[in-house]
């Protein structure tokens, strides 16, 4: 082991020296050797860690800004978890689920805060182990990552102002001509808004809070989102009204994959995926609903 470590240090030293001399070809070769040695060392350290019984860490990415699924708060109240490289904490339905999965699988939990568009790439690159962030299990995403069984079933609804022109809408047809928006990169924006006849579709908002601000400020007549987000918004903004067309003949047309919410992992990571599914198999739809109700009740804006 000492010889291997000496080899690693020598390779690293040679790389630095040749880089300083400006020899790109030699630098590239030595860098590759150094990387390979470092990788071997890292593998051995991981094995040593496992042999010593140390607890592994599950790195979970989320926005930390998508209540009631996840949000950022200043302390650890209600069981919030520290955000990596931050003095803040994360909590919400996704954090509750992440804590349960990590506990059941014997992992320590680390929450990584990322922008929505960075979540899938982070899983693909291995920067994080999984994403628990209210992601729909869509065919497009399944081409890039693997998904667990659903950990929530989120029906799609509308949100309007209680005194607005569309407050009495009883179906999608009644939303005709509305100025509307939703969050970037979601089925709400890409699939649902185009179903509204003569809709004036505004640019997509970068986050769930941003789309709520657009509605609350009067910049838009309507936003389309999922049931938990809308329920949380009603608590935070009493002048908003939830429009639920489910069970009618004039609801938004979406597939099951677009309302089933899952945990995404790197392609081929069957060990972690099977572990996550084994935990989810112990929960029922009622369990999901109770956890979501708790998350909604303690979200920062509800206080």
Q: What pLDDT, in 10s, does the model give residues 185-212?
A: 888 999 999 999 999 999 999 988 899 9
Domain locations in the chain as residue ranges: 2-51, 57-152+260-302, 156-257
Measure the CA–CA gap between 174 and 152, rounded to whole angstroms: 29
Is the Cβ–Cβ distance between 96 and 77 less than 8 Å?
A: no
Domain made up of 156-257: CATH architecture: 3-Layer(aba) Sandwich (3.40)
**CATH topology (fold) of 57-152+260-302:** D-Maltodextrin-Binding Protein; domain 2 (3.40.190)
In angstroms, the Cα distances linking 155 to 92, 161, 192 are 19, 20, 12
H runs (alpha helix) in 237-284? 270-280
Q: Which residues does the chain have with pLDDT short of 70?
A: 1-53, 301-303
Q: What is the pLDDT of residue 302?
A: 52
Look up residue 137 and give its DSSP letter. Answer: -
Q: Give dist(CA 260, CA 86) in Å, integer.
A: 31
Distance of CA 89 to CAs 85, 93, 112, 162, Å?
A: 10, 14, 10, 33
Concatenated DSSP letters of 164-219: STTTT--SGGGGTT-EEE-BTTSHIIIIIGGGSTT-EEPPPBSSHHHHHHHHHTTS
Confirm if 268 and 247 have CB atoms less than 8 A apart: no
pLDDT recorded at residue 163: 96
- Supply the DSSP symbol for 282: T
Per residue in 206-217, pLDDT (tens digit) is 988 899 999 999
pLDDT reported for residue 41? 41
C-beta of residue 135 within 8 angstroms of C-beta of residue 264: yes
Under a CB-based contact definition with an 8 Å cutoff, are residues 228 and 68 in contact?
A: yes
b/e 251-262 (16+ beta carbons within 10 angstroms → b): bbebeebbbbbb
């Amino acid at each position: 082991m000492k010889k291997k470590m000496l080899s690693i240090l020598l390779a690293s030293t040679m790389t630095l020296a040749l880089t300083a001399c400006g020899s790109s070809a030699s630098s590239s070769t030595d860098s590759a050797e150094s990387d390979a040695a470092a990788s071997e060392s890292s593998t051995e350290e991981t094995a040593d860690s496992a042999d010593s019984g140390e607890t592994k860490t599950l790195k979970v990415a989320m926005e930390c800004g998508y209540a009631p699924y996840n949000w950022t708060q200043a302390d650890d109240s209600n069981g919030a978890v520290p955000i990596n490289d931050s003095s803040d904490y994360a909590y919400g339905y996704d954090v509750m689920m992440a804590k349960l999965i990590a506990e059941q699988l014997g992992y320590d939990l680390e929450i990584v805060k990322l922008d929505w568009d960075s979540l899938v790439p982070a899983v693909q690159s291995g920067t994080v182990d999984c994403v628990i962030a209210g992601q729909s299990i869509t065919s497009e995403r399944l081409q890039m990552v693997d998904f667990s069984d659903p950990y929530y079933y989120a029906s799609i609804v509308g949100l309007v102002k209680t005194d607005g022109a569309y407050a009495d809408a009883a179906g999608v047809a009644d939303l005709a001509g509305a100025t509307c928006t939703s969050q970037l990169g979601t089925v709400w924006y890409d699939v649902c808004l185009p179903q509204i006849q003569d809709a004036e579709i505004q640019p997509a908002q970068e986050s769930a809070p941003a789309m709520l601000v657009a509605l609350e400020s009067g910049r838009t007549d309507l936003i389309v989102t999922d049931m938990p987000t809308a329920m949380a918004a009603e608590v935070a903004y009493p002048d908003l009204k939830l429009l639920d067309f489910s069970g009618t003949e004039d609801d938004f047309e979406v597939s099951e994959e677009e309302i089933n919410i899952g945990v995404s992992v790197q392609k081929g990571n069957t060990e972690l995926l099977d572990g996550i599914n084994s935990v989810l198999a112990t929960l029922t739809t009622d369990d999901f609903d109770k956890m979501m109700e708790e998350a909604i009740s303690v979200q920062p804006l509800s206080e």
